[in-house]
Chains A and B, each alone.
Chain A
Amino acid sequence: MSNLQSQDYIRISATTTTPPSARNFEDQVAKLIDVTRCIGCKACQAACMEWNNLRDEVGEFHGTYDNPLDLDPHTWTVMKFTEYEDDKGDLEWLIRKDGCMHCEDPGCLKACPAPGAIVQYANGIVDFISENCIGCGYCVKGCPFDIPRISEVDHKSYKCTLCSDRVAVSLEPACVKACPTGAIMFGSKKDMTDWAGDRIVDLKSRGFENAGLYDPPGVQGTHVMYVLHHADKPQIYAGLPENPKISATVEFWKGLIKPVALAGIAAAAISGFLHWVIAGPNEVQPEDEEEAKRVLKENNFPEDEGPHRAEHQT
């Protein structure tokens, strides 16, 4: 997406200086996806395609209502349908809208090596700034939710923008506007959390004892949250991670080893320099040449008869 709110950043990928932060009086926003009132109509998918001018190829049937089957550069949100039978054999058809979770601690941003390719606005939205993207795919590795997709055409990374362009002018994201049942709501994170609380009370009264809000602390919460009937088992919703956090591998790679590595490289260079200063160069001495000549003579080493003799008479 484009870079619309340049004074509104709280995080910029691959940048060590303080981002522009003068506009610091902004609510954190959140999209609340109430899985328990979602009817899987895919209006959100259609709205996403329309607003963002995305059109995938017309695909095939895959033995499921999931179409397209997965996220891709042209599909930033997709409904995932799961036929789930509980221990008692009671069937539930769990339908979860998959897409970017807009983590408060975004793994993609942490992993990104390109300055300004991934930003987080003050309202919490994590956005990809395509002109800065170098297409390395590190965001894919950084994401705990398997969201970013790299285009095979332009080799840029794509994902849901939470309609940052709409939100910037006080409109709700396109999917929210299109949702016919109000299963997708948008507002301040606090309001959404409060509303989710009411929903959970209602769900518990309907026998969903483990109803709850999915706002995983492992990524310091997300700006896209789910109301789940079975918050104790998020993985039954097409593999929603139980306790997502930025992988320890990524944390290590993007954390400790950067300074340690640079220090190591610097140390090696400095050691060399100090050695030069202290011990100095190791030079061949005239005695060495004498000794060498002596040994050559002892061995009847032929006078240099090589092809270079003529040119190198000294």
Chain B
Amino acid sequence: MSRPYGTLTRNATVTRLNHWLTAACFVLLMLSGLSMFDPLLFWLSSLFGGGEWTRTIHPWIGVVLLISYSGLIIQFWRDNLWTKADIAWLMAIDKVLVNKEEGVPEVARFNAGQKFVFWSMALLVPALFFTGLVIWEYYFGTYTSIPTQRAALLIHSLGAIAAIIIWIVHVYAAIWVRGSMRAMTQGYVTPGWAWRHHRKWFRSLATTGSTGPKPNVDRHTHK
């Protein structure tokens, strides 16, 4: 995907592919997982060729998700480190929610909400993976005690619900903040988008002459 003239690269191609692989896994896991979680949703298993195939495929998708999300962690962890500014941003969440910009602290590459999503998933994905291994009957059914498996099932379910709710927040935020979706599909944002939502990040690009997603380190200024 090419970046149009005068825009900034928000997400590199590799990042975007990695994200969408993760997203696909997540959606498939959610659909298959929910089908086994609540009988009301068992019909979802037909999307996978029935209950047995759902049971068979779900854990394998989980393995892919873990690997895929690890890629995202490697790419994003530094930009998601928590700062004091995040607290200030959170203090101004009421303004953010009603689309007001005044009085909202400037945001770097990610705001506190995005960081919350990132770190939650960074916690939940491995948790779901490891509890998933415990209840993966096909290979690991006899390795742990039944009480352990019961606990793993409960943690897996609770974790999955939390992940789904966070995912909903994440998806809605992408819809709500116009231009975000394109940032992850085509990869670019306009300078105005960057100015409006991630001003600190924008300034770091502007001052280093970078078109994104990272500031240039060798060119400090063009003054």
Inside 8 A of A171's CB, which chain B residues have their CB? Answer: none
Q: Would B158 and A282 count as touching, CB distance under 8 A?
A: no
Chain B 10-39 interface mask (CB, 8 Å, partner A; 1/0): 000000000000000000000000011111
Q: How far is the CA of A37 from the CA of B17 in the complex (A)?
A: 69
User: Which residue in chain A gives the minimum CB-CB distance to B202?
Assistant: A292
Inside 8 A of B38's CB, which chain A residues have their CB? Answer: 258, 261-262
Chain B 138-158 interface mask (CB, 8 Å, partner A; 1/0): 100100001101110110011
Q: Would B5 and A281 count as touching, CB distance under 8 A?
A: no
Q: Would B39 and A299 count as touching, CB distance under 8 A?
A: no
Stretch binding the partner chain, chosen from A50-58, A135-143, A212-220? A135-143
**Does residue A206 face the partner (Cβ distance < 8 Å to B)?**
no
Q: How far is the CA of A15 from the CA of B42 in the complex (A)?
A: 9
Q: Would B37 and A309 count as touching, CB distance under 8 A?
A: no
Q: How far is the CA of A219 from the CA of B128 in the complex (A)?
A: 30
Q: Would B98 and A272 count as touching, CB distance under 8 A?
A: no
**Does residue B161 face the partner (Cβ distance < 8 Å to A)?**
yes
Q: Would A311 and B2 count as touching, CB distance under 8 A?
A: yes
Inside 8 A of A146's CB, which chain B residues have their CB? Answer: 146
Given the known A-B contacts A113-B42, A268-B168, A311-B2, are A141 and B221 also in contact in the complex, defined by CB atoms under 8 Å?
no
**Does residue A88 face the partner (Cβ distance < 8 Å to B)?**
no
Q: How far is the CA of A310 from the CA of B158 in the complex (A)?
A: 52
In-complex Cβ contact of A282 among B5, B99, B138, B222 (8 A): B99
Inside 8 A of A309's CB, which chain B residues have their CB? Answer: 5
Stretch binding the partner chain, chosen from B50-58, B65-73, B82-90, B115-123? B50-58
Q: How far is the CA of A248 from the CA of B191 in the complex (A)?
A: 55
B62-114 at interface with A (beta carbon < 8 Å): 97-99
**Does residue A64 face the partner (Cβ distance < 8 Å to B)?**
no
Inside 8 A of A272's CB, which chain B residues have their CB? Answer: 168-169, 171-172, 175-176
In-complex Cβ contact of A135 among B35, B52, B222 (8 A): B52
- Interface size range on A against B: 35 or more
Given the known A-B contacts A137-B141, A272-B172, A282-B178, are A292 and B98 also in contact in the complex, defined by CB atoms under 8 Å?
no
Inside 8 A of B168's CB, which chain A residues have their CB? Answer: 265, 268-269, 272
Least Cβ–Cβ distance between B207 and chain A, in angstroms: 5
Q: Would B191 and A312 count as touching, CB distance under 8 A?
A: no
User: Which residue in chain A gives the minimum CB-CB distance to B196?
Assistant: A288
Q: Would B195 and A249 count as touching, CB distance under 8 A?
A: no
Q: Would B97 and A285 count as touching, CB distance under 8 A?
A: no
Q: Would B209 and A113 count as touching, CB distance under 8 A?
A: no
Chain A 102-146 interface mask (CB, 8 Å, partner B; 1/0): 000000000001110100000000000000101111101100001
**Does residue A91 face the partner (Cβ distance < 8 Å to B)?**
no
Inside 8 A of A284's CB, which chain B residues have their CB? Answer: 178-179, 190, 192-193, 196
